[in-house]
């Protein structure tokens, strides 16, 4: 997993317009057709044309993160953002990126946070597609 932050998120987290623990944060899956641009992509409508098709329990816009936590790790001197793993059952999906964004319900105002390059296409065929959060969370900063 290689998580990369959109530059617009860096500003939005600092000005308080994104609050990871209280805002609705979603993860959507996109295909290898997506070409990430951390400079110019700032809202979900910059990405959504490359989203995987609805299948099984995966629906357009992706899934809302469950059981989000923000913790202070004094041992590693980090702040950590974590949530439950996400699974889509009975799904036929081929995804290259998991894109995280603050959902407002409107693509043009749903701010991008980061994307996780899965390293290669990750596929399920009428099965379960799972995103496993890294052991130290999606975001850990020091």
Cα–Cα dist 95/46, whole Å: 17
Q: Which helix (H) or strand (E) holds 99?
A: strand 86-102
Q: Nearest-CA neighbor of 50 among 38, 40, 62?
A: 62
**How far is residue 33 from each of residues 21, 22, 30, 65, 130, measured CA to CA in Å?**
31, 32, 8, 24, 20
Specify the pLDDT at position 33. 97
Q: Nearest-CA neighbor of 57 among 135, 137, 131, 132?
A: 131
Specify the pLDDT at position 134. 86
- Cβ proximity of 28 and 61 under 8 Å: yes
- pLDDT tens for the chain, residues 1 to 142: 589 999 999 999 999 999 999 999 999 999 999 999 999 999 999 999 999 999 999 999 999 999 999 999 899 888 899 999 999 999 999 999 999 999 999 999 999 999 999 999 999 999 999 999 988 888 877 5
Specify the pLDDT at position 1. 58
Specify the pLDDT at position 139. 80
CA atoms within 13 A on the CB side of 44: 23
Q: 79: buried, middle or exposed (CB in 10 Å: 19+, 13-18, 0-12)?
A: middle
Delimit the domains of the chain by residue range. 2-141
Specify the pLDDT at position 142. 57
């Amino acid at each position: 997993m290689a998580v990369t932050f959109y530059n617009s998120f860096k500003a939005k987290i600092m000005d308080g317009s994104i609050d990871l623990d209280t805002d609705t944060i979603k993860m959507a899956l996109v295909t290898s057709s997506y070409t990430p641009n951390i400079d110019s992509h700032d809202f979900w409508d910059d990405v959504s044309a490359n989203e995987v098709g609805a299948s099984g329990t995966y629906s357009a816009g992706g899934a809302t993160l469950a059981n989000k936590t923000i913790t202070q790790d004094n041992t590693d001197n980090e702040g950590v953002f974590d949530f439950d793993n996400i699974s889509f059952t009975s799904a036929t999906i081929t995804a290259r990126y998991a894109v995280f964004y603050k959902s407002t319900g409107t693509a043009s105002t749903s701010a991008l946070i980061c994307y996780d390059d899965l390293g290669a296409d990750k596929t399920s065929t009428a099965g379960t597609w799972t995103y496993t959060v890294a052991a130290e969370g999606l975001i850990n900063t020091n």
